[in-house]
Chain A
Amino acid sequence: MPTEITMPQQSDTMTEGTVVKWLKKEGDKIRAGEIIAEIETDKATMEMEAFDAGTLAVIIAGPGQKAPVGAPIAAMATGKETVDEVKKKYASGTSAAAPATTQKAQSAGAPQAASTPKSSTAIIMESPNTAELKEPDESIGHGATREAAHAVPPIPTSGNGNDRLKVSPLAKRIAQDKGIDLHQIRGTGPAGRIVQQDVLNASQKPTGAGAPATLSPPVQLTARVPTGQTEKVQLTKMRVAIATALQRSKQNVPHFYETMDIDVEEISQLRERLNKRLEKEKIRLSLGDFVTQAVAAALKRHPILNATFDPAKNEITRYGDVNLGIAVALPDGLIVPVIKGVDQMGLKEIRQRSVDIVERARAQKLKGEEMKGATFTVSNLGAFGVREFMAIINPPEVGILAVGGAEKRAVVQGDQIVPRTIMTVTLSADHRVVDGATAADFLRTLKGLLEEPATQLL
């Protein structure tokens, strides 16, 4: 019996390889462990060792030829048979043998190739495509969309059990005890089952780098890819949810944008004064807190923006409370916790509530209901040095405010150029519900409240 040399599986994702070159030619003796060929995989070119000793009799896959993993690429004479006998066995050599064996090997390799993506989608739970098919934008309620938009995969609407979250009972209980959202965790058990270790890893997860592999792996995405290599990374469930929800929003919601500069010189000074008073309480108001409060007050005066829209019913829901979504960046994604009843809060409470909810969002310890029920969202990239940007609406909300950083700019006052602290905000609004002038009115109110904070007293 000749010994076949088969295409080795050099990486988990490899389904076929290409022979770059043979380091041995037909008739050469081979020792076990000797490097006999170079194989190019999906990741790299690797040296291939011989497992057995013998004489290389037939090269089936020549340089440049591809073969599926497990398919014979050469045959050796290992014992009693001669090289010529082996050659004969493989018919008229490479040209005749190659297509036949390749074909056979392909069919053998096929189930493997098919099963690999299958199992990985099981881990991912839901591909954007299936989510799209199953959940037309209009058919889902407020909470579901909110969840979908923010890191939680869409709640299955059909009875299709395939996308059910698989969790071991113990893991479920631990997650419950620790207040961990299971949707944030990637299971490492069979078929993506979330097991105890996954939850424990998640509970120890620090913000930022060094997160365990079972979570959305920020390290993977931020780490450098070595020169000359490419790397494929499966989306985390959070990423898939973000992708699905935001794509749906941008495709279905007719966005329009209005930008306005706001002079925050005065409010910055006010902030300093207040912070001095609050020093003892160890509270430090941020400019963002003033924006939050002003947005809440402006929304009370322009309730059309403090609303949700259900296009299936052609129905707007208006809210007497302002539940403000605050976009929080995570190492690989974002999450939008909701501060409810912001319009009733003073700056101190806004500060305390924001700190608490942002911290817990970063630790991924929010409860489900803390990510639901927003009536409007604010996204603030000021801290990142962004001057202005445009945000995508989270349906069914009808508006989102993108807040840039406050900075000293040269401003023309009368005929003078004066340095003032300016902040640029951009409102994205759903034109099905909100018109340009309405949006402008809202922004003018917001500007007034921030530029002349005393007007809030009126």
Chain B
Amino acid sequence: MPVIQLRQALREAMSEEMDRDENVFLMGEEVAQYNGAYKVSEGMLEKYGPRRIIDTPISEAGFSGLGVGAACMGLRPIIEFMSWSFTWVCMDQIVNNAANVRYMSGGQYKVPIVFRGGNGIAHQLAATHSHRMESVYARIPGLIVVAPSTPAEAKGLLKSSIRCDDPVIFLENEKMLNEMGEVPDPKDGDFTLPLGIANVERPGKDVTIVSYGRALARVVRPAVEHLANDHGIDAEVIDLRTLRPLDTTTVINSVKKTNRCVIVDEDWGYCGMGSGILFKLQKPLFDYLDAPIEYVHSDEIPVPYNHYLEEAMLPSVDRIVASVKEACYR
């Protein structure tokens, strides 16, 4: 299987879908002539031309709305945001329009659009450019929220997102674009991953760790190795992949087996993504829990610019190990 960068996986996904369906197009800041702010769309202008790879002015509210309109009229736009932090100005287009048009029109319009870009804390981008937007969007009925944690997931999930007839919030992370991983060769056929299905990426018996996206890649996977090697704790790891709709079945079945659950994300705790997940779990799992569900999240402060402070506010391997041990009464 070819090993490629996550950014390349995204490019492959978009390109393959553009080859497959002429209604698919990419629009965003610097996606065309500059080859993408983070080089995700490198070479695509050359290949697909300016009608399908479209540079926009710096106006997220404007081009996200343009995308919603295009989707209503039958096209399948991919809207790239340089950062999801910039979408606070798009709330009306994404939340009020994209999420609700299908419902408000009684199904006369559907909105097959993908909004994608870097989400969360990258590195020293400070408080206003480090927002983790998953809990903002995952609470909106009508939206689908996806967060890949590997290049293969990025490709398989993005392809499914582009084919989805509902608006998809596709959350990447700038720091993950360089990450390498095995991705099925396009020659071996069309590779997609289903939306709304979580992946048990590591079976284990002692505790279920639920995570997604960057937190999973950055700290959960190393923590799990640490737990196995140094603490004798065999953790089952669930990669949620889709945050809305949440695959509670997979998580519940796992925790019924392990009786312990630790949720890890980089969101703030209060009203954070993990809090929402916890809400879905506590009642069905109540009689199966031997310990309270633990939630490892970022500190509830504006994201600091300082490297060390930023590091300190984020979930760490140590914090995960501590929480897992607490859940396991070790």
Q: Which residues of A contact B (CB under 8 A)?
A: 168-173, 188-190, 195-197
Contact = CB atoms under 8 A, between A and B. Distances in A.
B123 to A, nearest CB: 36
Contact of B286 (A169, A189, A197): A169
B329 A170 contact: no
Interface in B246-293: 259, 286-291
A249 to B, nearest CB: 38
A193 B329 CA distance: 10
Contact of A195 (B286, B287, B288, B291): B291
Interface in B83-135: none
Contacts of B291: 168, 189, 195
Contact of B287 (A169, A188, A190, A197): A169
Contacts of B286: 169
20 contacts: A168-B290, A169-B286, A169-B287, A169-B289, A169-B290, A170-B259, A170-B287, A170-B288, A170-B289, A170-B290, A171-B290, A173-B287, A173-B288, A188-B329, A189-B291, A189-B329, A195-B290, A195-B329, A196-B290, A197-B329
B253 to A, nearest CB: 15
Interface residues of B, number: 8
Contacts of A196: 259, 290
A173 B290 CA distance: 10
Nearest to A173: B287
Contact of B289 (A168, A188, A190, A197): A168
B233 to A, nearest CB: 14
A147 to B, nearest CB: 25
Nearest to A194: B290
Q: Is the interface of A mostly helix, strand, loop or mixed?
A: helix
Nearest to A187: B329
A171 B287 CA distance: 8
Contacts of B288: 169-170, 173
Contacts of B329: 188-190, 195, 197
Of B287, B288, B289, B290, the most chain A CB neighbours within 10 A belong to B290
Contacts of B290: 168-171, 195-197
A269 to B, nearest CB: 57
Of A169, A189, A195, the most chain B CB neighbours within 10 A belong to A169
Nearest to A199: B290
Nearest to B282: A169
Contacts of A172: 287
A195 B329 CA distance: 9
Q: Ordered nearest first, which 6 A-B pairs have the shortest CB separation?
A: A196-B290, A170-B290, A168-B290, A173-B287, A169-B287, A169-B286
Nearest to A196: B290
Nearest to B326: A190
B39 to A, nearest CB: 49
B262 to A, nearest CB: 15
Given A169-B287, A189-B291, 19 more contacts: A168-B289, A168-B290, A169-B286, A169-B288, A169-B290, A170-B287, A170-B288, A170-B289, A171-B290, A172-B287, A173-B287, A173-B288, A188-B329, A189-B329, A195-B290, A195-B329, A196-B290, A197-B290, A197-B329
Nearest to B288: A170
Contacts of A173: 287-288
Interface string B290-330: 11000000000000000000000000000000000000010
B256 to A, nearest CB: 10
A195 B291 CA distance: 8
Contacts of B289: 168-170
B328 to A, nearest CB: 10
Nearest to B286: A169
Contacts of B287: 169-170, 172-173
A212 to B, nearest CB: 14
A190 B288 CA distance: 18
Contacts of A170: 259, 287-290
A189 B329 CA distance: 6
A195 B326 CA distance: 12
A135 B259 CA distance: 38
A175 to B, nearest CB: 12
Contacts of A195: 290-291, 329
Interface in B199-241: none
A197 B288 CA distance: 13
A155 B288 CA distance: 26
B278 to A, nearest CB: 15
A195 B259 CA distance: 11
Nearest to A168: B290
B207 to A, nearest CB: 12
Of B287, B289, B329, the most chain A CB neighbours within 10 A belong to B329
B248 to A, nearest CB: 18
A257 B184 CA distance: 89
A168 B286 CA distance: 9
A171 B288 CA distance: 8
Contacts of A169: 286-290
Contacts of A189: 291, 329
Contacts of A188: 329
B220 to A, nearest CB: 24
A189 B291 CA distance: 9
A172 B291 CA distance: 12
A289 B287 CA distance: 43
A300 to B, nearest CB: 46
A170 B291 CA distance: 8
A196 B259 CA distance: 9
A439 to B, nearest CB: 51
A182 to B, nearest CB: 14
A24 B213 CA distance: 58
A170 B287 CA distance: 5
A196 B286 CA distance: 13
Nearest to A188: B329
A173 B287 CA distance: 7
Nearest to A195: B290
A113 B312 CA distance: 32
A169 to B, nearest CB: 5
